[in-house]
Every structure is written in structure tokens, then in C-alpha cells.
């Protein structure tokens, strides 16, 4: 059976926060895990993890604004950054009565989770990340050949990006197949999900919604590349990071900066994973979360 096949018991609802309608998928019962996706992702990226943890936790997976089934912007936005999404997630926690969930973040979701914990510490119990990009990475984004990996971040700032990627299903599939294979160490992890991804990103406004993240974060990215560090203070929540050893876009070696960001931290490495640990090796990912929660 496909990891991305329909999941029995999965519920979908729309929640309006800050004037934005956000889609939320949820399943299971027990302590709450708030699952924050990255790019190029949406709520369905968590299905493999949901299958394994729904018997132990209530898993709540919102689509960030601009992504998945949530509201989409009409065009270019440069304010859809980590802070905007963090404000939305704080409102989701309140609207759904989640109290202080364990927040699980990946990629974009990792940035959002950090801003959520920094700005609304009372709404977060603890943090768990699959890989963990942070502002502390700084100039490493363009060192040792990395500039050749992050080309898409500049490309997404062009109006041309939506026109090229969204020209038709074939161009959309080709574009996202690149990331869902190149960023994986287990190359077949998304093999049976490509049509689901194409359906998602061919929906009106979906490409713009995702690309706006890079438009909004560009000024911060340029400052980091210039070596300008951000003094944000360390996040005190207990934090666990499971980093894919072979991640080509968020290098495992960058885990050495995490103590600058988190004051109560443990780090492990998924030795056979790339960027998408939770999809490439969901058994490992689920076990890591369960072990982390049991020790809280």
C-alpha cells in the first residue's frame, strides 16, 4: 500500500485566523503534535508519519497560508515570512484548543516553529525537527558549492517562475520531481506521490503561495550571505533534531550551530536519509518522536 494512500479516520477542516482560511488535517488521539511542513510540501507530506503515530498522538497538520488547501494570495507577497506564519500558528493553537503542543517542523516549518517558540513560548511544549535550517547558518548557504544548490531560491523571486513551472502538468511534474528525488537519499521515497504533488501545485495560486516564502525571506537571506548575524537569543524549549546525513540542501555538518539557537538540545543523525527524513524513513522518524516525547 502506498504511504500516501487515503488514511482512515483522517479529518479535514478549515479554520479562519487573522482573516485567512487555513486548512487543517488531523487524525488520532492523545498528546498533540503540531506538524509544520516545508517546501515543496503541504499537509500530505506527513501521511507516512501519521500512519505510524495515530495510535499514540493526535496529529494536527495545517497547510501554511499559500500552501495546500489553505487560502492563496492573489499575487506577489513579501511579508509571508516566518513571523507571519508563526502568528497564524499561534492562532491555530488557540482556535483548536491545542494548549501547548509538541511542534514538529521541517524546512520552512522549522523556521516557522522557531519563530513560534520565540514569540509565543507559552504555546509550545517542546520542539522536534527533521533537519533544522536556522539563521545561524549564515554564509554557509553560499560556501563550498552551496550556491549551486540554492539557485531555486532566487528563481522563485521571478514572475517568470510561475509561468515556467506551471505551464502544464508536464513542466510542473518535471520541476517537483527534481526536488523530490535530488533532495532524497532514498530516491524512490516520493515515487508514488508525484501525481499528488502535481495536483497540489497545479491548483490556482499554489505555486505563487509557495514561492512567496522565498520572496519574503530574500532580504534576510541576503543579510545572512553577507555575514550579518541575527541576535535572536536562544530558544529555551527542549529540542530534538534528527538530521538526514545526506541532505544536500541543509547540510548535516551545519548541526554544529544548533547550540547557538537552542539551549536544551539533543541531536541525532539519520544515516541513510537526505532532506525528507520523515518520508524517506518514517519508521525511524516516528520512533524518534515517540522516544523524545516519552522523555519529556
Superfamily of domain 11-294: Alpha/Beta hydrolase fold, catalytic domain (3.40.50.1820)
CB 132 within 8 A of CB 255: yes
Structure-model confidence comparison of residues 1 and 93, the more confident one: 93
Query: pLDDT tens across 171-190, in order?
Result: 999 999 999 999 999 999 99
Least confident of 77-86, 272-281, 285-294: 77-86
Of 107, 131, 247, 288, which residue is the catalytic one? Answer: 107
Predicted confidence at residue 77, as pLDDT, reads: 85
Predicted confidence at residue 167, as pLDDT, reads: 98
pLDDT tier for residue 148 given thresholds of 50, 70 and 90? very high
Query: pLDDT tens across 218-237, in order?
Result: 888 888 777 777 767 899 99
- Whether 106 sits among the annotated catalytic residues: the reply is no
Of 63, 81, 128, 214, which residue is the catalytic one? Answer: 214
Least confident of 32-41, 126-135, 214-223: 214-223
Say yes or no to pLDDT of 31 above 90: yes
Of 237, 275, 278, 288, which residue is the catalytic one? Answer: 275
State the Cα–Cα distance between residues 191 and 117, nearest whole angstrom: 34
pLDDT tier for residue 202 given thresholds of 50, 70 and 90? very high
C-alpha radius of gyration, the chain, whole number: 18
Predicted confidence at residue 219, as pLDDT, reads: 85
pLDDT tier for residue 141 given thresholds of 50, 70 and 90? confident
Query: pLDDT tens across 62-94, in order?
Result: 999 999 999 998 888 889 999 999 999 999 999
Percent of the chain scoring above 90 in pLDDT? 88
β-bridge partners, 103: 34, 127
pLDDT tier for residue 55 given thresholds of 50, 70 and 90? very high
Predicted confidence at residue 227, as pLDDT, reads: 75
Identify the residue whose cell numbers are 516564502: 213
- Whether 107 sits among the annotated catalytic residues: the reply is yes
> What DSSP character marks residue 178?
H
Mean residue pLDDT of the chain comes to: 95
Least confident of 129-138, 160-169, 230-239: 230-239
State the Cα–Cα distance between residues 121 and 114, nearest whole angstrom: 10
- Cα-Cα-Cα-Cα dihedral sign, residues 219, 251, 239, 32: positive
3-class secondary-structure state, position 279: helix
Q: What is the mean pLDDT of residues 28-57?
A: 98
pLDDT tier for residue 135 given thresholds of 50, 70 and 90? confident
pLDDT tier for residue 201 given thresholds of 50, 70 and 90? very high
Domain regions of the chain by residue span = 11-294
3-class secondary-structure state, position 14: strand
- Whether 214 sits among the annotated catalytic residues: the reply is yes
Say yes or no to pLDDT of 22 above 90: yes
Amino acid at each position: 500500500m502506498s504511504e500516501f494512500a487515503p488514511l482512515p479516520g483522517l479529518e479535514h477542516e478549515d479554520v479562519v485566523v487573522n482573516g485567512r482560511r487555513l486548512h487543517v488535517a488531523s487524525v488520532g488521539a492523545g498528546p498533540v503534535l503540531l506538524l509544520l511542513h516545508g517546501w515543496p510540501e503541504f499537509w500530505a507530506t506527513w501521511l507516512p508519519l501519521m500512519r505510524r503515530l495515530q495510535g499514540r498522538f493526535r496529529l494536527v497538520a495545517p497547510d501554511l497560508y499559500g500552501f495546500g488547501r489553505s487560502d492563496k494570495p492573489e499575487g506577489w507577497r513579501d511579508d509571508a515570512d516566518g513571523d507571519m506564519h508563526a502568528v497564524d500558528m499561534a492562532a491555530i493553537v488557540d482556535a483548536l484548543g491545542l494548549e501547548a503542543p509538541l511542534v514538529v517542523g521541517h524546512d520552512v516549518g522549522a523556521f516557522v516553529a522557531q519563530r513560534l517558540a520565540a514569540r509565543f513560548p507559552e504555546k509550545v511544549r517542546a520542539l522536534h525537527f527533521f533537519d533544522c535550517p536556522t539563521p545561524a547558518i549564515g554564509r554557509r548557504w553560499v560556501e563550498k558549492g552551496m550556491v549551486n544548490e540554492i539557485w531555486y531560491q532566487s528563481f522563485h523571486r521571478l514572475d517568470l517562475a510561475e509561468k515556467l513551472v506551471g505551464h502544464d502538468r508536464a513542466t510542473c511534474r518535471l520541476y517537483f520531481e527534481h526536488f523530490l528525488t535530488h533532495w532524497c537519499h532514498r530516491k524512490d521515497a516520493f515515487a508514488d506521490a508525484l501525481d499528488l504533488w502535481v495536483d497540489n501545485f497545479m491548483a490556482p495560486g499554489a505555486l505563487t503561495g509557495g514561492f512567496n516564502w522565498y520572496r519574503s525571506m530574500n532580504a534576510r537571506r541576503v543579510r545572512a550571505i553577507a555575514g550579518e548575524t541575527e541576535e535572536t537569543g536562544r530558544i529555551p524549549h527542549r529540542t530534538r533534531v534528527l538530521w538526514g546525513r545526506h541532505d544536500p540542501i541543509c547540510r548535516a555538518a551545519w548541526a554544529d550551530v544548533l547550540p547557538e539557537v537552542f539551549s536544551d538540545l539533543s541531536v541525532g543523525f539519520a544515516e541513510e536519509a537526505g532532506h525528507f527524513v520523515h518520508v524517506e524513513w518514517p519508521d525511524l522518524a516516528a520512533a524518534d518522536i515517540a522516544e523524545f516525547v516519552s522523555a519529556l
